[in-house]
Amino acid sequence: MILTLDIKGITKFVTTVGTILSVLFLMPIVVGLIYHEDIQSFAIYDGLLFVTNGLFLLLLRKHKIAMKVKGSIIAVNIVWFLLGVSAAIVYMLYTPIDFSSAFFESISGYTTTGATVFSNIEALPHHILFLRSLTHWIGGMGIIVLGVGLLSIINPTGSISMFKAESTGLSVDKIAPKIKDTAFLLWAIYTALTLLDMLFLKLFGMDWFDAINHAFSTISTGGFSTKNASMWAFVNSSGIIWTTTLFMVLSSINFLAHLRFLRGDLSGYGSKEVKVFVAIFLFLSIALTVAHYETSNDSFLLSLEHSSFTISSILTTTGFATVDYDKWPHIATIFILIAMFIGGTTGSTAGGAKVIRFVIVFKNIANEIKSIIHPNAVTSIFVDKKRLSDSLVALVFGFFALYAFTIIIVMVYLYARGFDEMSAFSAAIATVGNIGPGFAKVGPTQNYSFFSWYDKWVLSFAMIIGRLECYTFYILLSKSFWKKF
């Protein structure tokens, strides 16, 4: 029996997020006005969205939210589903796609996956292009983190559990005494990086519209572009390519490290996870550069440019492309697949399994080997001079089990549907890992429009599960979760 749930609190939180969303939707409406596009239907829809959510907030204004972890997990899952619906309706109003495709595109945006069902992106209205990029930007840092900041103003009770339920990473790390202050600081640095990236892209040749859209997609590590050829359209500007490479890497480093840097503290960049992430990026970039240089007619510098961009794009789960890496030799495919499996760091906008989890797994393996060699030795796992509890290590291994289970289920489903092995395998990794492009039928020059409506629903939920890092979704399938506690 769900007697302990704060139903009114969940409703108040969900409608708070809905209200925020309706305000943010004014941005693409303004873009439509600037480009003299028909935005009447969008404006009416957004007005209804605002009024509906606003009425609920008005009715519940005196209710004190008291959500604990259980209620927070339910609220997070509801919000992510409703986010998919929110933009899907707009896509259906302005493009000839069905609800399944529209929901897929919307979820791909909010989860920062970047997989698209649109074959001719450049034919879309400016306000739809901007909406796609905006969904990335909203989902990148997490609509819930933004909501937590405002929720804390409404009522601070339960905010920390909400932050835990949605935020990526192994634990909640705060740089300010109150969680709402941490949320606002995160959004401040997020916005600052977006503006800085936009200015550099403009400086190196993009027009303002392309610059703001690609900045949204880059800082959120999303991957939606305003061009059919993705970043390939700007391949003649090394400044744009290297700028995007740099900002993808920066966006995949824990944002709390950036905040500490602004306060004169470099310790965040000295963490074990960041060091390993940078080492992986450099190693894979150099390895792919050599592989590409040896098998192409490109110069070493051009090979370095494309290879560094490709590894940055895949490792950070952004999904931009400057070349069709699907045509590169098998050794290059191996390096790219390794990047697909790893992902960025915790506390960043990147998806994937996260570097710190691999660090913990390999440290645990080393400890087990020591235990076999020295049975009487007492060993512990330390990361950044902090001892990790056995429960945390178990949590990491549990995550990998669920992560692998999800990928396998999606892969087997797609293979059973008749797709080739590489398409099924890479599509599973690309959606669960929130990467976007994969290989073969879902390669960097392809899209996801060929999947059936039911395939798109499976892949949409795969993206949500990956974005919520498995536990937050799968816990809903547990009997004990629904029991009174």
Residue type, 63: H
Q: What is the model's pLDDT at position 309?
A: 98
pLDDT tens-place values along the chain, 485 residues long:
444 678 888 899 899 999 999 999 999 999 999 999 999 999 999 999 999 999 999 999 888 877 777 888 888 899 999 999 999 999 999 999 999 999 999 999 999 999 999 999 999 999 999 999 999 999 998 765 765 665 555 555 555 555 566 555 555 555 555 666 777 888 889 999 999 999 999 999 999 999 999 999 999 999 999 999 999 999 999 999 999 999 999 999 999 899 889 888 898 899 999 999 999 999 999 999 999 999 888 999 999 999 999 999 999 999 999 999 999 999 999 999 999 999 999 889 999 999 999 999 999 999 999 989 988 877 888 998 889 888 889 989 999 999 999 999 999 999 999 999 999 999 999 999 999 999 999 999 999 999 999 999 999 999 999 998 898 899 899 888 887 54
* pLDDT at site 379: 81
Distance CA 269, CA 259 (A): 11
Tokens representing residue 485 in the block: 């506690």
pLDDT, position 69: 77
Q: What is the pLDDT of residue 380?
A: 85
At position 132, the amino acid (one-letter code) is: R
The residue type of 114 is: G
State how far the Cα of 389 lies from the Cα of 425, in Å rounded to an integer. 34
Domain count along the chain? 1
Which are the contacts of 465, defined by CB distance < 8 A and separation ≥ 6?
406, 432, 473, 474
Residue 229 to residue 347: CA distance in whole angstroms: 30
* 113 burial via Cβ count (<10 Å: 0-12, 13-18, 19+): buried
Dihedral sign for Cα atoms in the order 245, 144, 400, 412: negative
On whether residue 102 sits in a domain, the answer given is: yes
**157 domain residue, yes or no:** yes
* Residue 484 located in a structural domain: no
CB 345 within 8 A of CB 317: no
| Tokens 């997989």 belong to residue | 115
Break the chain down into helix, strand, coil percent, rounded to 5.
70, 0, 30
Can you give the pTM of this predicted structure?
0.93
What range defines the domain where residue 156 resides?
A: 7-225
Look at residues 109, 113, 130, 123 and name the one whose alpha carbon lies nearest to residue 33.
130
Answer whether residue 460 is part of any domain.
no
- Rounded CA-CA distance 142/437 in Å is 22
* Helix/strand/coil for 428: helix
Whether 12 maps to a domain, the answer reads: yes
Domain assignment present for 168: yes
What are the CA-CA distances from residue 314 to residues 339, 344, 359 (Å)? 6, 10, 19
Pairing of strands 382-383, 386-387: antiparallel
DSSP letters for 378-414: ----EETTEEPPHHHHHHHHHHHHHHHHHHHHHHHHH
> For residue 477, with 0-12 CB atoms within 10 Å meaning exposed, 13-18 middle and 19 or more buried, which class applies?
exposed
- Domain for residue 87, yes or no? yes
Q: Give a yes or no: residue 122 inside a domain.
A: yes
